[in-house]
Structure 1
């Protein structure tokens, strides 16, 4: 089992913006790491306090194959000066890939969080 990290900034605090961002992040993580939904053990989303219009997990459950994937959402620590409108994800997957083969995904404004990984 491996953890795959990802993050993305949403285009605003609306159900549509949060949902679009969450779906884009998850889809990109799957493609870049050659993962199917059957490989996913669980997903934990966090959001910054300025994103409260919707749950990212709710939008991802609408994607094909995700209805049985355990997901949870939580509030990110509200550190002064930190990136706003950010959705973070820890995806746990069953894989034989080595740690160095895992591709962590940071999209939009979240690319500044881990420039060493992109």
Structure 2
């Protein structure tokens, strides 16, 4: 078994608590579904947001999901690069898995598909 990083990102339209929480839950649920993982498989989740999203902590959405209360979570600000994608939530899920790097499915939703069009599903 190896520890693998699974990336994901999603955008929101507004800097408001509920859209941020809903998008975070949608993104993590997509990562979980795509990779067939459960909370016990997770070593930790690193969450970043762009500086224009300060209405809430996205990790609150993860804590509210069944079975995720003991998973270590960390929130941080994304590096503020000029011209980068706005209103974006990113996840790095570190998971214990038998999957190879090639088998891991990264998830990019909404406007975040532009970040990695090579990995984003249609």
TM-score range, shorter chain: over 0.9
Q: Superposed, which structure 2 residues align to 1:57-96 within 5 Å?
A: 57-96=59-98
SS in 2 for 1:117: coil
Partner Cα distance (1:31, 1:46) in 2: 21
Of 30, 48, 51, the residue aligned with 1:49 is 51
Please tell me whether residue 105 in structure 1 is matched to residue 107 in structure 2: yes
- TM-score with structure 1 setting the length: 0.98
Q: Deviations over 1:57-91 (max 9, x none)?
A: 01110010110000000000111111000000100
- TM-score with structure 2 setting the length: 0.95
Determine the structure 1 residue equivalent to 2:118. Answer: 116
Partner Cα distance (1:30, 1:74) in 2: 21
Partner Cα distance (1:84, 1:39) in 2: 31
Determine the structure 1 residue equivalent to 2:13. Answer: 11
Report the CA distance between 1:12 and its aligned residue: 1.1
SS in 2 for 1:65: coil
Query: 4+ residue stretches of structure 1 with deviation over 3 A?
Result: none
- Residue correspondences, number: 118
Report the CA distance between 1:11 and its aligned residue: 2.7
Determine the structure 2 residue equivalent to 1:25. Answer: 27
More helix by percentage: 1
